[in-house]
Structure 1
Amino acid sequence: MPKLIVICGATATGKSGLALELAMRLDSAIISADSRQVYREFDIGTAKPSKTEQALVPHYLIDICEPRETMTVADYQDAARVLIEGKASTHLLVGGTGLYIKAITRGMKIPRVAPNYELRSHLESIRESVGQIQLYGMLEQVDPEAAAKIHPHDIVRTLRALEVYYITGVPISQQQGENPPDYPILQLGLDCDRAYLTQRIAQRTEKMVKDGFVEEVDYLCRKFGEDLPLLNTLGYQEIRQYLAGEVDLEKAKELTALHTRQFAKRQQTWFRANPQIEWFDVENGNLFEQVWQRIEPFIQNV
């Protein structure tokens, strides 16, 4: 039976560095749980492990999609399950995409319905015509159970629930649920003082620019076009504004750091709601050994 160790937490808390050390000691691979690192050529802005780091330890679920493709949570879940359940050893699941991690650790049942952009466009036009509340009312009629769990102003989840219903004819509420895996799971989270995290985010933003982030965004804009959805994500959008002459580079870095802090706060809220996560302070100088002391009995327990 496999065993799974999860290393999670907000962006810039040092998950990748810790995981690399652990993987080398465990002689294990790293399975990425990052919703942007799955895409090829989006490297610096996603803090993707370097080629050197990837040569030290096998990394999976990185660079598996073209930027114009869509990697759904269901796709990710299927791919991760094959890796974890295919070998009776200890696996490291590392990242900050909470939904990816939850899909694995809780065994979320996810409707296998790919985005239908024609249908979404139609639903969007209805929303623009009659308003979000009326669109939400449509959901209440076809799937009251799902509607009860979705805020009336939550456009994304309302559209998704309607999309699933109109494609499959089955309410999304009847296609959801959980089926937790039967293998052991240890969930470890990294956290730190907000001021320290702010400092780390600022330092990482500076390093990204020095490592060629501006050049990466410029190349991606020219290759894929500025309307590529991934170029509207954290970091890429701000540098794209700089390249368009809307802000100077210092302002772009300032906005990147600000939006990264806001994103990190949302990640912290998500992960702290999970009582199964055991927390470790990244400011602790003995972090690796503290984490290892918790992992050792887990992997030795048969």
Structure 2
Amino acid sequence: MSENLLLIVGPTAVGKSNVAVQVAHKLNGEIVSADSMQVYKEFDIGTAKITPKEQQGIPHYMIDVVNAKQEFSVVHYRELALEAISEIHKKNKLPIMVGGTGLYVRAVIDPYKFQEQPVDNEYREELEKIASEQGSHFLHRQLEQVDPQAATRIHPNDLRRIVRALEYFRTTGEPISLSQDAKYSDNCIFDVTMIGLTMDRDKLYQRINARVDEMISSGLIEETKANLEKSYGSDTIPMGGIGYSQIIDYLHGKHSLDEAIRLIKRDTRRFAKRQLTWFRRDKRIKWIEVDKYPNFEAVVDEIIDLTENNKTGVVSE
């Protein structure tokens, strides 16, 4: 018999982390983060990392796993996340995977055959040179031409993944998205309940804008400066992410702080749209429109009902 797993996904700022903590309290669960940025140590504010106080005593896994200079891929994530889920099961608790990185989620719940990436070092260096001169967005537009599906999944600031996708297309002659999709199966390796949180787009965008303002007031600029002083440059994955990359440009005098904030908000809204596009393709997800519920507790109760109706076998404490 497959082991139980509760999955809570959705776009950034919809409230996944807070909901998951309350669900964990009621369903005797522990949380496994499925966020590709929160695995990095010393990147807290810009990744909206849940604080120890917000965790309310619920153990969280896959947060603060590596530093920014360490190699970390979906392969590493899958291995460590499966270990965490196994550990939670051994405690006779319910693992609750929470996050918005769709590739990480699917790598864990669906059978996935990892294949080595074809390498063309000369072409990779050529692409990196182009990016240094014209920016990652220029290469992202090239990716849109040869693999629009991958371009939807990959953020324009994520130079490493853009280069990898273009290199894959160059060396194999086929889109990397086709290869990734072909390696997935619909046979989930867990007895999984998949919950998606969403809300009215305008309300979500308001929450995103408010979150960015809170990040600035909480010290995003100072956190970015501190990580620059540790030699974490924009070539590292987290520093190339939304929030940090715009603040780096501000610190380097490329634009004003107001413009940096505007760009963070815009790019985060676009990121949320891409997340929804990814998750909407998975018909196993049961969607909850959180803004249609009278309060936070009602959303938590709905998730618990859906989980128990899916026969997880978990007894609430």
Q: Secondary structure at the match of 2:193?
A: strand
Match of 1:296 in 2: 308
Change (3 A) 1:220 1:228: farther
Match of 2:94 in 1: 90
Q: How does the TM-score come out when normalised to structure 1?
A: 0.81
Shift of 1:294: 1.0
- 217, 225, 231: which one pairs with 1:224? 231
- 1:198 equivalent to 2:216? Answer no
State the alpha-carbon separation in 2 of the partners of residues 5 and 254 from structure 1: 35
Change (3 A) 1:268 1:249: same
Match of 2:158 in 1: none
State the alpha-carbon separation in 1 of the partners of residues 250 and 107 from structure 2: 36
Match of 1:260 in 2: 268
State the alpha-carbon separation in 2 of the partners of residues 125 and 42 from structure 1: 28
Change (3 A) 1:127 1:11: closer
Match of 2:221 in 1: 214
Count matched residues. 273
**1:90–1:299 contact (8 Å) kept in structure 2:** no
State the alpha-carbon separation in 2 of the partners of residues 213 and 288 from structure 1: 30
State the alpha-carbon separation in 2 of the partners of residues 128 and 59 from structure 1: 36
Q: Secondary structure at the match of 2:8?
A: strand
Map Cα deviations across residues 197-227 of structure 1 (whole Å, 9 max, x no partner).
1100011001111111110001011112434
Q: Secondary structure at the match of 1:280?
A: strand
Match of 2:18 in 1: 17
Map Cα deviations across residues 7-65 of structure 1 (whole Å, 9 max, x no partner).
00111110001011111112211000000100100111001110223451101011111
- 253, 277, 291: which one pairs with 1:269? 277
Shift of 1:297: 2.6
Match of 1:123 in 2: 123
Higher mean Cα deviation, 234-243 or 49-58? 49-58
Match of 1:30 in 2: 31
State the alpha-carbon separation in 1 of the partners of residues 120 and 259 from structure 2: 35
Structure of greater Rg: 1
**1:2–1:91 contact (8 Å) kept in structure 2:** no
Q: Secondary structure at the match of 2:123?
A: helix
State the alpha-carbon separation in 2 of the partners of residues 100 and 20 from structure 1: 20
**1:77–1:104 contact (8 Å) kept in structure 2:** yes
Match of 2:136 in 1: none
Match of 2:154 in 1: none
Q: Secondary structure at the match of 1:49?
A: coil
Q: Secondary structure at the match of 2:230?
A: helix
Shift of 1:178: 3.5
Match of 1:50 in 2: 51
- 1:246 equivalent to 2:250? Answer no
Unaligned runs of 5+ in 2: 130-145, 152-162
**1:3–1:299 contact (8 Å) kept in structure 2:** no
Higher mean Cα deviation, 35-44 or 52-61? 52-61
Shift of 1:253: 1.0
Higher mean Cα deviation, 3-12 or 21-30? 21-30
**1:2–1:90 contact (8 Å) kept in structure 2:** no
Q: Secondary structure at the match of 2:32?
A: strand
Change (3 A) 1:125 1:252: closer
Q: Secondary structure at the match of 2:46?
A: helix
Q: How does the TM-score come out when normalised to structure 2?
A: 0.77
Match of 2:139 in 1: none
Shift of 1:293: 1.5
State the alpha-carbon separation in 2 of the partners of residues 163 and 298 from structure 1: 44
Q: Secondary structure at the match of 2:29?
A: coil
Matched residue type, 1:183: F
- Stretches (4+) displaced over 6 A: 126-129, 151-154, 161-165
Matched residue type, 2:12: T
Q: What is the percent sequence identity of the aligned residues? A: 33
State the alpha-carbon separation in 1 of the partners of residues 312 and 126 from structure 2: 57
**1:68–1:228 contact (8 Å) kept in structure 2:** no
Map Cα deviations across residues 154-182 of structure 1 (whole Å, 9 max, x no partner).
764241467799xxxxxx969x6246444
Map Cα deviations across residues 228-275 of structure 1 (whole Å, 9 max, x no partner).
322121110111112122222222111100000011111111101110
Q: Secondary structure at the match of 2:254?
A: coil
